[in-house]
Amino acid sequence: MMLSAKNKTFLLVSILFAIFALILVGTIYINQKDKLENAQNSFHENMHESYKKILAKHKEFYYNRTIANINSSGVRETFAAHNRVKLYNLTLGKWKTLQKENPYLKIMHFHLSDGTSFLRMHQPDHFGDRIADVRPMIAKVHHSKSVVSGFEIGQAGLAFRLVIPIFDHENYIGALEFGSNPEQILREMQYFYELKGALFIKNAQSTCYKNNLSMQDYHLQSNTLRDTSILKYLKKINYDFTITKTINYNHKIYNVYAFDLYDFSGNVSGKAIFLQDITALHKEFQQTILELCLLVLALFVLILLVIHYGFQKIVSALDKSNAELETIFATSKDGIAITDLETNFLYTNNAYMAMTGFTAKELYGTSCVSLSIPEDLPRAIKMIGEVVGKGYVENFEKTCIVKDGKRIIVNMAVALMPDKKRFLITTKNITEAKKLENETKKYIKLIDENIITSSTDLKGNITHASEAFCAISGYSKEELSGQNHRIVKHPDTPKEIYTEIWKKLINDQVWEGELKNKKKDGSYYWVYSKIYPLYTEEGTKYGYTAIRTDLTDKKKIEEISITDGLTSIYNRRYFNEVFPKFIKSSKRNNDIACFILIDIDYFKLYNDTYGHQMGDNALIKVAESIKYSLRRADDYCFRLGGEEFGILFKTQLHDHAIKFAETIRSNIENLKISHENNRASPYITVSLGLVISGDDPVLSCDFIYKQTDDLLYKAKQLGRNRVCSSLQCETL
């Protein structure tokens, strides 16, 4: 009988859900069971540790009390003297105190070294018997003369005993034994764990246990159970004192834990068993499994309902989707085709036929790969192999030969359909787009080669540099990428300019102006720059871009016009241009502005003596010394005419200005250019006039120049080869 798609779905879901439910329930069942067993094992381990601690505590308790009793005044001497009455009287008080401290303490027994009983504090009238012959623990103490402890059966039954040897002046005289009823263990386990239990003695010979319950050669000594019928049940099922056993009794579930009671030599002399009622835990476990099964069943019913009511909607949606797909196929501007695995056309839409010029009949059975030009055919075949391997290939470009031999460039996406027997191919005609792309690349290349551009991130690190930028700076694109734009910063450029640039850019403004930059080889070039902020489509600023024009030739011509032809420092013309701006800037920024006039001493005599060629050489060396003495980018030096030079600079302190002027004077004299007619020195020297702006506003450039010239004249009057400043020479 054929099943409908809906019934097939029901059947498949039912099988899968049944498998899932079995795995889920089984896993949780095993997990919960393991948790229950782990909890029981952990409880047993905790009990066992507590059991060992209780025994250790008892041993420590009796040891300390035994030592204290032996060391009591007169006890050792009285025992050594075999004075039983006196020993009893000396020890009676302590014996009663110990019984109050521990009501389970039943035995305090002095043993003589010959193996006989000397004094039983619990039975003072019973003594003289050969106790060592029937008590291996006592015999062990007499033999080893060392402390012995453990469980041992005596006349009073099984007891936990501690026996300590007694010495008098290093002579062994006997031992003192303490023993307690092991029922104390049951009581303490009941107190700490709310567990009730029973103690069994191995091979009990005492007649007082003759009629008691026995199991596996063990006889019941004591218990804390209200109902001992459970012990009879354990005997009935041949309980063998396994470590842990789970039993069902009287509609309840118990864990039975067993512990061995060891004698002094490590042999088992008794058993302690404890019963833990775990009925509630088992009920909780069963309830959890039941609830889980009900939940799984409810979930299964819900899934079937969802399938039942959703199946028709899915079918309806599929029908609608198929109709939409047919509409998309029919109206899509992209060419869509379905082929077999040999790329033979099975179906093509109108756009594909329009793109290729073929009809559906002409395309049917034709291979899509065969439309490729010969050069692209190997790539097309390899691409089909990749589609079979990974399921799809996107953005594959090739040139096709369509109807009438026309060539078109297409961009294809090929996907392996779910049945793995067909390909779905979508195609775009990108012939015109490719032509436009190639033209755009040509224009971009022209711009890259001829326009000096660069882009940076927000920190000024270069992210792009044009070929033109690389050509003018001397760096390659690899050398510039990731570098900060400071790589082309020229030291002559005042830092105020870069402060202004960053101020505008940070405030989302455009900066434009002239900049002097440094090439890789250390030379320089000038550009006119326009720097713009860059923004994402969302309006977030992410960097800056700059477009520049080469001004180097223009600047070189300008530099020639402001440079002294002999000394290569600035000339008088540039001084006249800079001087007013310098003074205004100093006033505006409250800087200490300084002006120095320098004149070479007796230079006319130098020319007369050595000739004008030597005089020109001296002027060049003096100019170089002045230039290399300058310390800041906004310090200027000029040749003002003949042997006269000028310096404009700013300083922080008046004393620094005087020291700077003195340094210039000293540097020139240290050139050691011989001048035999110089009355101030055997070498060429200079006289300097220095004006330092004070708190009073400077009235004019002419006033400053006149004042400096007067100071220079004073320096000459005072003997030349010296500095005369507005501070030093005010009273001269």
Residues marked as catalytic: 643
Q: Which of 163, 161, 162, 121 is nearest to 142 (CA)?
A: 163
Return d(Cα 219, Cα 257) in angstroms, integer. Answer: 17
Residues whose CB is less than 8 angstroms from the CB of residue 204 and which lie 6 or more positions away in sequence, other chains included: 153, 157, 158, 212, 219, 221
3-state secondary structure of 693: coil
Angle at 238 between CA 235 and CA 240, to 5 degrees: 105
Instruction: Cite the beta strand spans of 196-330 per DSSP E.
Output: 196-202, 214-215, 218-223, 244-249, 252-262, 268-277
Burial of 120 (0-12, 13-18, 19+ CB in 10 A): buried
Return d(Cα 657, Cα 396) in angstroms, integer. Answer: 74
Pairing relationship of beta strands 686-692 and 723-725 according to DSSP bridges = parallel
CB atoms under 10 Å from CB of 101, counted, come to 10
Per-residue tokens: 445: 């290349």
Angle at 608 between CA 603 and CA 610, to 5 degrees: 90
DSSP assignment of 630-666:
--STT-EEEEEETTEEEEEEEESSHHHHHHHHHHHHH
Beta-ladder partners of 245: 256
Return d(Cα 468, Cα 444) in angstroms, integer. Answer: 12
CB atoms under 10 Å from CB of 197, counted, come to 26
Distances (CA, A) of 159 to 48, 165, 221: 19, 19, 10
Return d(Cα 336, Cα 424) in angstroms, integer. Answer: 7
Buried b (16+ CB within 10 A) or exposed e, 704-718: bbebbebbbebbbee
Q: Which H/E stretch holds residue 576?
A: helix 572-589
Per-residue tokens: 435: 């032509």
Burial of 176 (0-12, 13-18, 19+ CB in 10 A): buried
Return d(Cα 120, Cα 351) in angstroms, integer. Answer: 118
